[in-house]
Structure 1
Amino acid sequence: MPTIRDVSKLAGVSVATVSRVLNRSGYVHEETERKVLKAIKELNYTPNFVARSLTNKKTGTIGLMVPDITNPFFPELARAVEDVMQQYGYTTILGNSDENPQKEKQYIQLLKQKYIDGVILASTALTAEEVHTFKVPVVVLDRVVLSDNIPMVTSKNREGAREATRFLLKQGCRKIAHLRGPVQLRIADERCHGYLDVVEKLEWFHPGLIVASNYDMRQAMQATLELLKKHPDIDGIFAGNDIIAIGAMRAVQLLGISIPEEMAIIGYDGITMGEIVYPELTTMAQPIYEMGALAARMLIKMIEKQPLDTLYYELDVQLIERGTTRKG
């Protein structure tokens, strides 16, 4: 049976630091906390007091609300949340809202009846005012709610969109379309604004080059087919997420247009599916696991009534160049 000393040795920290992480007492740097949690997981270490400490909480259960579990981005995000929560003795209940405000409200009411200790919202069909009515701690993940006091974890969506669009221009693209996400979704708006920041004043730009596809692969495929009928000279596509990009790839291939020689495509998110399509998808990758783990740690601190270092995290994104764009 592994001991707390084994954990401290593997993590390269003191026994006292491991104890602070497990007890959620005192300050521990986030990087140090990650090392300790990784060591605990690798050793399969289960301290006896974790089970006993659950009697001091309401239920040891949190809710995680996602908009579409069929989008591979959200299972990857959920895995990170569950991993961290499990290390601290919490159980995660998953809800799928389909971006439906009524369905999301029904889930929240159900979760409240289960006496959950907190909620992570990766679905934002709710307004800031509605979120404020929750009687438990809430962290918003991969979404933006207009409020100064709701903790949030997101990525640099607008900046990433600018980088993606500039990259297509550097690749030699002369007319770039944008397949955007839902119009009511703020992160989709930010990615669209990032695209516009780069192309809006270029002579070839036309508002008709922006088409909504609602993060749906089939809709994206159909939207791309229609777009290329109207604008056959498009030679670059910046998609609002990887699912949209894969739908666009399918449409382009059906039309017999070669990727990347005649059409360059770049997605957004960095899901693992992008590595198994052909050609492999170039993408602006979000730090998916880090985002989920960070949101989980924030929620735990709130449940344990510990202060947060900040209420808002906006993480960097990274361009991953693969086969759907030409090599420079």
Structure 2
Amino acid sequence: MKRVTIHDVARSAGVSRQTVSRALNDKAEIDGGTKQRVLDAARTLGYRPSRFARGLVRQDTVTIGLVIPDLRNPFFTEIAASALEAARARDWHVVVHDTADSPEREIGTLRVIGSQVDAVVGYFSQSEEEIERHVAGLPVVFLGREHRNPRFSSIRIDGEAGIAAAVDHLVAAGHTRIGMLDHNRRNEPSIRQRWFRTAAASAGLVLDPGWILGANQSVDGGALAFEALHAAHPEITALLTFNDIIAIGALRRARQLGLRVPADLALIGFDGLELGALIDPPLTSVAIDTNRLGTLAIEDVARLLAGDRAAAPEDLVVRGALRLRGSA
């Protein structure tokens, strides 16, 4: 697809190239009506100012925008490290943006990177229409999310079999009262909670609605949520968590409350962080291969940049597998 130029915008708005430049850079030399006409034309045409013309990088360098919700979470740090390594092997540059899991910061990030990079990859909560509005014309690869726009692509995370294996492992150990600490970002259950409910039903377990509680995605969030869950439902003998960070917080608080892990409480996280091997006892988890996830993302960006707009290969999925350590 031919790239829209500043000359195309000028011709559509009926102004000079210099006027387009002034309007896009919010200069005071033009009146409001003209500025709005230029902005409308640029939006309609999907124009993005050339990052090369702005001197941001060399013209022969591919730059990827990597959008991460929280670099303090080691899961995302591991993904970023893998993507950087895969990009380095191609002599590409990667610009990493941390949105702090904020929809507002995500919008701000999209506004910035639209004119700075050749392609975008990462985690997004915004609609595809909103993303397209800010990065029109750019290849986009979603991590952990499905896509509808044929210009976009996705690397899926499938933890269903891993969570089923986790539930089966707990049931085999004699646990029937299994709880879960889910995330609390949205007013709906996560896909991981749905996988847990399906696995529990398949194992013949009946879940008390109170056995599932939301938690902030942090060590402190996991600790607070577990304390509340244990106070309300001390009968729970096993616990799955939305991610390893929540699990580590829950494990710490459980031990502070005098519970033995795994004798009194079996605990299984999700992500398989290397950090989980360093705590006592080491954390059992449904492990995601973050190296494969980051590598696949860069490989799919390369496919899109090469002009391959056909449907992505069916194997663009990273599946979770139960990694047994000492906590369950």
2:319 is aligned to: 316
Higher Cα Rg, which structure: 2
Q: Which amino acid aligns with 2:319?
A: D
After TM superposition, give the deviation of residue 183 of structure 1 in Å.
4.5
Match of 1:7 in 2: none
Matched-pair contact (CA < 8 Å) for 1:155–1:316 = yes
Tell me the equivalent position of 1:272: 274
Q: Which amino acid aligns with 2:305?
A: I
CA contact (8 A) 1:183 1:189 kept: no
Secondary structure at the aligned position of 1:219 is classed as helix
In the other structure, the counterpart of 2:128 is: 128
SS in 1 for 2:312: coil
What is the aligned partner in structure 2 of residue 167 from structure 1? 169
1:124 CA displacement: 1.7
Deviates more, 1:71-80 or 1:198-207: 198-207
Residue 311 of structure 1 deviates from its aligned partner by 5.6
What CA RMSD, in Å, does the superposition of the two structures yield over aligned residues? 2.2
Provide TM-score, normalisation by structure 1: 0.76
User: Residue type of the partner of 1:314?
Assistant: V
Pair 1:248-2:244 in alignment: no
Q: Summarize the Cα distance change of 1:180–1:293 in structure 2 as closer, same or farther, 3 Å threshold.
A: same
- Residue 315 of structure 1 deviates from its aligned partner by 2.1
Correspondence for 2:89: 87
Alpha carbons of 1:180 and 1:284: their partners in 2 closer, same or farther (altered >3 Å)?
same
Matching residue of 1:283: 285
> How much does 1:178 deviate?
0.6
- Structure 1 residue ranges (4+ consecutive) displaced by more than 6 angstroms after TM superposition: none
Following the alignment from structure 2 to structure 1, what is the Cα–Cα distance between the partners of residues 305 and 247? 38
1:298 and 1:308 in contact (8 A); partners too: no
Moved more, 147-156 or 210-219: 147-156
SS in 2 for 1:63: strand
Counterpart of 1:230 in structure 2 is: 232
2: distance between equivalents of 1:72 and 1:181? Answer: 16
Q: Aligned AA for 2:118?
A: D
Amino acid at match of 1:67: P
Shift of 1:308: 5.7
Deviation at 1:55, TM superposition (A): 6.3
Deviation at 1:306, TM superposition (A): 3.3
Q: Is the 8 A contact 2:128 2:149 kept in 1?
A: no
Give, in angstroms, the shift of residue 210 of structure 1. 0.8
Other-structure match for 2:260: 258
1:128-148 CA distances to partner (integer Å, 9 max, x unpaired)?
22233322110011x214525
* Structure 2 counterpart SS, 1:113: coil
User: Aligned ranges for residues 200-215 of structure 1 at < 5 Å?
Assistant: 200=201, 204-215=206-217
Once the two structures are superposed, the pairs formed by residues 19-34 of structure 1 within 5 Å of their partners are none
Q: Counterparts of 1:97 and 1:158 in 2: how far apart (Å)?
A: 27
CA displacement at 1:304 relative to structure 2: 2.4
Higher alpha-carbon deviation: 199-208 or 91-100: 199-208
Counterpart Cα distance in 1 of 2:186 and 2:264: 32
C-alpha contact (below 8 Å) 1:67/1:99 kept by paired residues: yes
Q: Contact 2:146 / 2:156 at 8 angstroms: preserved in 1?
A: no
Distance, in Å, in 2 between the alignment partners of 1:93 and 1:185 is: 32
Distance 2:141 2:114 in 1: 16
Q: Could you tell me the percent identity over the aligned residues?
A: 25
Q: How far does residue 322 in structure 1 lie from its aligned partner after superposition?
A: 0.5
Give the letter for the 2:225 counterpart.
A
- Structure 1: state its 5+ residue gaps: 1-53
8 Å Cα contact 1:99-1:124 kept in structure 2? no
Counterpart of 1:195?
196
Aligned-residue offset at 1:307:
5.0
* Aligned residue number for residue 219 of structure 1: 221
The alignment partner of 2:190 has SS state of helix
Displacement of 1:163 in angstroms is 2.2
User: Which shows bigger deviation, 299-308 or 270-279?
Assistant: 299-308
